[in-house]
Amino acid sequence: MEIGYCKKCNIPVLGERCSLCGLPVQKIRFHDLGDIRPASKFELEKLRFLIPFRDVKNYLSRRVVLLSRQPGLDYRKDVFIDGFKFGTLEYVKDREWRWRFIPTGRGAMLIHILTGHEDFSLKSGGHWKGKKIDRHITGDWAIARIGKCIALAVNTGENVRIKDVYCRPVQTARRSSIKDMIEGNLTMIHKKERKGVEIIQKTGADYAAFSGGKDSEVSLYLAHLAGVKKAVFLNTGLEFPETERFVYNFADFLGVELIELRPKKDFWSLVNEKGIPTKENRWCTAYLKLNLLKNLRGVIVDGMRKYESLRRMHAPTTRRIGNLRTVYPIYNYLSLEVWLYIYYRQLPYNPLYDMGYERLGCYMCPSMLNAEFHNLKRTHPQLFQRWYRYLRKSGYSHEEIMDGKWRWNTLPPKLRKI
């Protein structure tokens, strides 16, 4: 899948022409278009921590860094800078769970150009890509020179291998910021905003659903522009405290009435009869969320996006929940567009996004990544402990819990091995 990129301004552009310089855009390929977005503060910090060169850290902090999801066992993202794939950031388990960054060959070339760094050199002329080499490297990767080419050597744990060889010169690109990205996409942002407001006004919506996440924030904001006066917050009782506070504050910020609904029977009394929710059996969505909407009638604005719902296991396929009809004004938005809109309107957003969370539902949702579940132990130790103790009481070992195995009824093959 592809999106536009303005090489001159060094920003992604979601139209034919860059609104900042007026030039037509080039296309770059991403693995997962719907998920592409700017790196969060948390992710930028991880990258700066994992890349051991000051000049590279400085370079990254002055450019738009984009991330795009890769299939994998847990958190795994392609890191894009200057419109090319710079490397992969992932959460992996070898001896223990940890963060790892590995550059691409081209990324290694950029690092070499910025720093002059090379760890060793290899005889030129040979076909090195994919070969095992007789070298010891201490970290996950090293940069090798082969004539005028730069090779990336990776430590697989068992041996050292040449993963990629890059031979073309790489030029450094212009500095770019979030502000440039907003200006470069201004035509598209205005068009989409008008369209969103129009869609909502046509339906005469009464409510806007608001979970405290970025998608429902944007759809609520559009609903607010369209004249909708009521936001509906389904509080499962398993919300992060940051989410509750953000929901209250943002509704107040907009001056809309907040209707907060809670399940009659809470999760902790339901879990004993229904069992631990898993990816295959997420009974909690219906019990803690959808059932609460039964008493509302009319039209509700919802922040569902098609790129997100492809992965959602219980995505509503109908546009009706009880007596409610739903309208999806940001259905075609990419994650990048949601963020662009938040930045463009300078809206506050849920602080959890900068704390290492991407999915802001319940704090122990089985859809969470293990990277997020481990993060919970650090950011919210009491919430973590409550769920940890419940899982231990239910018979899971410490290792099974920390490997996130409780999230499945039937483990995927790759996870069975760890």
User: Which residues are at the interface with Zn ion (CB under 5 A)?
Assistant: 6, 8-9, 18, 20-21
Question: 24 or 275, CB closer to Zn ion?
Answer: 24
Cα gap 248→255, rounded to integer Å: 10
Q: How far is the CB of 6 from Zn ion (least distance, A)?
A: 3
* Residue closer to Zn ion (CB basis): 21 or 271: 21
Q: Whole-number minimum distance, CB 196 to Zn ion, in Å?
A: 25
| Dist CA 229 CA 255 (whole Å) | 8
Contacts of 219 (CB under 8 A, 6+ apart): 196, 208, 209, 301, 302, 303, 328, 329, 330
Task: Report the residue number, 21 or 418, with the smaller CB distance to Zn ion.
Answer: 21
> What is the closest distance, in whole angstroms, from the C-beta atom of residue 164 to Zn ion in the complex?
29
C-beta neighbour count of 147 within 10 angstroms:
11
**CA–CA gap between residue 180 and residue 9 (Å, rounded):** 7
Closest CB to Zn ion among residues 173, 347: 173
Amino acid at 325: R
Smallest gap from residue 18 Cβ to Zn ion (A): 3
Q: Which is nearer to Zn ion, 8 or 117 (CB)?
A: 8
Min separation Cβ 215 and Zn ion, Å: 27
Judge contact between 115 and 53, C-beta under 8 A: yes
- Nearest distance, CB of residue 11 and Zn ion, angstroms: 7
Of the pair 174, 279, the CB lying nearest Zn ion is at 174
